[in-house]
């Protein structure tokens, strides 16, 4: 990886940047591409040894100026590539609770708005250091600050082992969610020193990061820590009850070989042993299609109810919200190494309905059978329809979108505007290696133009609380939705027939 490469600029050298005093101590930044950046800044104590599986604790102060030129270790995860998480040589470890701050190098008389990014990856992979999320374009264009946050993943962040804790050695639930809240508290307390406005914070994320956004909106402890929200391809229903979550935790303990002494096994297992047990768990939950065991849990403590219930009951925080999905979300998961069978198998979809609301099975399947949208059933189940439920229930202003831009290569692959494709536009990755492959047969000019427009909307929203372009708010009378494509347009109640077919579906508890 070339640390100095910006996706739209020629390579530039890294030069020393300003020193900033934080609650932990002084951090020395670097400057590149007209952006000051401070990398690997701790926002909590290392969650290691006695702090493994514990809620994040206050940052440990350091002496002298900390080097902010290097990213902190990525959370424990499988090494599947640097694009979103960990490549072969990426440093990895449990001491991962760090964040990165980027700001324009030009001075400003006024505090700048702050955008806080939570990465995706099904809560099992991802890292704030991934090249995808550098965000130099966003910072320069928006005259804003960008904060990208590491949070714990997999067993260490999203399995509910709280039932195995003791008074002497407690274990908290929702550790990854607690990490995100701790990072937002750090932003509140420190971002002014970097030139940011702690009263003008936008949280945004994609996939698991967007689930994080909609979950934080339903988490009372997070209320007041952010003022706007953007959810790109959230799956708001991928939050489960404690009974189900503790069943998954028990399965993990068995896979770890720790049934005789779960607490000791969980607190002493090596990272490789934890990852191996997680692989076994994923292979043994086939009787619950359409779920992910690593996800936030309704614990009655930090998260008192499911986000969808909170939205529909008017108890989610009523900040302005941009929320949307991509045209063919589920088709990414037909690819060999991405396959999620509930999204592509009619048999598994039928099993999912049998475990949730069997009375709706025929009604929903009838909207897809014999149509060009048959392959989109799973993506609609996981991402689109639950996002519609948020759109129609949220008490604050809502701007709804669908991302439709595709390329000839994506069309040949059969995935079109599938899950994650909007990231190229949001982060200005038009000239990245992956984008060059995806536009090898055409489409780069359209992607570049859309990137200009979507970034303008996102940063205007962060600064003013409204998108930049023509984009009416969403309501249940007109359901006006912006379609991002070669030429943007606004449609009323797109996919009405499919929406009505899903109406009343609530999913797993």
DSSP string, 191-225: GGGGTEEEEEEEEEEETHHHHHHHHHTT-GGGTTS
Distance between alpha carbon 479 and the CA centroid of its chain, in Å? 25
Catalytic-residue membership of 162: no
Question: Which residues, including other chains, have CB under 8 Å from residue 294's CB and lie 6 or more apart?
Answer: 122, 123, 124, 153, 154, 155, 157, 158, 159, 278
pLDDT at residue 306, rounded to an integer: 98
The predicted pLDDT at position 12 comes to 54
Cα–Cα distance between 44 and 54 in angstroms, integer? 12
Catalytic, out of 173, 207, 234, 451 = 207
Give pLDDT, residue 13. Answer: 64
Question: Averaged in consecutive runs of 10 residues, what is the pLDDT profile of the chain (509 residues)?
Answer: 39 79 97 94 98 98 96 95 85 97 95 97 96 93 94 98 97 98 98 98 98 98 98 97 96 97 98 97 84 95 97 98 97 73 70 94 93 91 97 98 98 95 97 95 97 97 95 98 98 97 94
Nearest to 454 by CA among 491, 413, 399: 399
pLDDT of residue 2: 37
228-232 vs 297-298, strand pairing mode: unpaired
117 and 204 Cβ atoms separated by less than 8 Å: yes
The total of other beta-carbon atoms located within 10 Å of residue 25's CB is: 17
Is 19 a residue of the active site? no
Residue 497 near residue 375 (C-beta atoms within 8 A): no
Q: Are 315 and 305 in contact (CB under 8 A)?
A: yes
Active-site residue, 207 included: yes
Q: Is 403 exposed, middle or buried (0-12, 13-18, 19+ CB in 10 A)?
A: buried
Predicted local distance difference test score (pLDDT) of residue 8: 41
94, 329, 334, 422: the catalytic one is: 329
What tens digit of pLDDT does each residue of 250-297 get? 999 999 999 999 999 999 999 999 999 999 998 887 778 889 999 999
* Model pLDDT for residues 185-221, shown as the tens digit of each residue: 999 999 999 999 999 999 999 999 999 999 999 999 9
Q: Indicate which residue of 233, 419, 432, 451 is catalytic.
A: 419
């Amino acid at each position: 990886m070339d640390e100095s490469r910006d996706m739209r600029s020629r390579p530039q050298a890294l030069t020393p940047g300003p020193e900033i005093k934080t609650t932990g101590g002084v951090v020395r930044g670097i400057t590149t591409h007209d952006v000051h950046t401070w990398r690997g800044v701790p926002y909590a104590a290392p969650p290691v040894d006695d702090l493994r599986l514990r809620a994040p604790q206050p940052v440990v102060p350091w002496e002298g100026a900390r080097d902010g030129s290097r990213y902190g270790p990525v959370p424990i995860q499988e090494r599947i590539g640097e694009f979103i998480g960990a490549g072969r040589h990426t440093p990895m470890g449990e001491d991962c609770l760090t964040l990165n701050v980027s700001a324009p190098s030009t001075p400003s008389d006024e505090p700048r708005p702050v955008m806080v990014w939570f990465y995706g990856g099904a809560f099992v992979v991802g890292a704030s250091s991934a090249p995808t999320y550098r965000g130099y374009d966003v910072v320069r264009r928006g005259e804003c600050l960008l904060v990208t946050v590491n949070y714990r993943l997999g067993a260490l962040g999203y399995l509910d082992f709280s039932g195995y804790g003791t008074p002497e050695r407690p274990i908290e639930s929702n550790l990854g969610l607690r990490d995100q809240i701790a990072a937002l508290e750090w932003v509140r307390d420190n971002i002014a020193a970097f030139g940011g406005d702690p009263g003008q914070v936008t949280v945004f994320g994609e996939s698991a990061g967007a689930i994080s956004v909609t979950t934080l909106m339903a988490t009372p402890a997070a209320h007041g820590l952010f003022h706007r929200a953007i959810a790109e391809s959230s799956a708001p229903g991928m939050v489960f009850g404690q009974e189900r979550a503790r069943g998954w935790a028990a399965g993990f303990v068995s896979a770890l070989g720790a049934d005789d002494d779960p607490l000791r096994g969980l607190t002493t297992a090596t990272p490789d042993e934890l990852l191996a047990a997680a692989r076994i768990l994923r292979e043994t939950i086939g009787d619950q299609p359409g779920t992910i065991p690593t996800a936030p849990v309704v614990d009655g403590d930090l998260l008192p109810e499911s986000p969808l219930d909170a939205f529909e009951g008017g108890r989610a925080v009523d900040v302005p919200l941009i929320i949307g999905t991509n045209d063919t979300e589920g088709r990414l998961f037909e690819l060999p190494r991405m396959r999620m069978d509930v999204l592509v198998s009619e048999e598994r979809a039928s099993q999912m309905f049998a475990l949730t609301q069997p009375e709706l099975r025929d009604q929903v399947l009838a909207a897809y059978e014999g149509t060009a949208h048959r392959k989109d059933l799973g993506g609609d189940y996981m991402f689109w329809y639950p996002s519609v439920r948020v759109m129609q229930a949220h008490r604050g202003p809502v701007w709804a979108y669908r991302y439709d831009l595709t390329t000839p290569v994506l069309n040949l692959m059969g995935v079109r505007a599938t899950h994650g494709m909007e990231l190229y536009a949001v982060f200005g990755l038009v000239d990245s290696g992956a984008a060059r492959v995806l536009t090898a047969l055409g489409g780069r000019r359209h992607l570049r133009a859309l990137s200009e427009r979507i970034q303008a909307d996102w940063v205007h929203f962060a600064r003013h609380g409204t998108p930049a372009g023509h984009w009416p708010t969403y309501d249940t009378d007109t359901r006006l939705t912006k379609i991002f494509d070669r030429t943007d347009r606004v449609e009323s109640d797109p996919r009405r027939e499919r929406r009505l077919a899903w109406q009343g579906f609530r999913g797993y508890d």
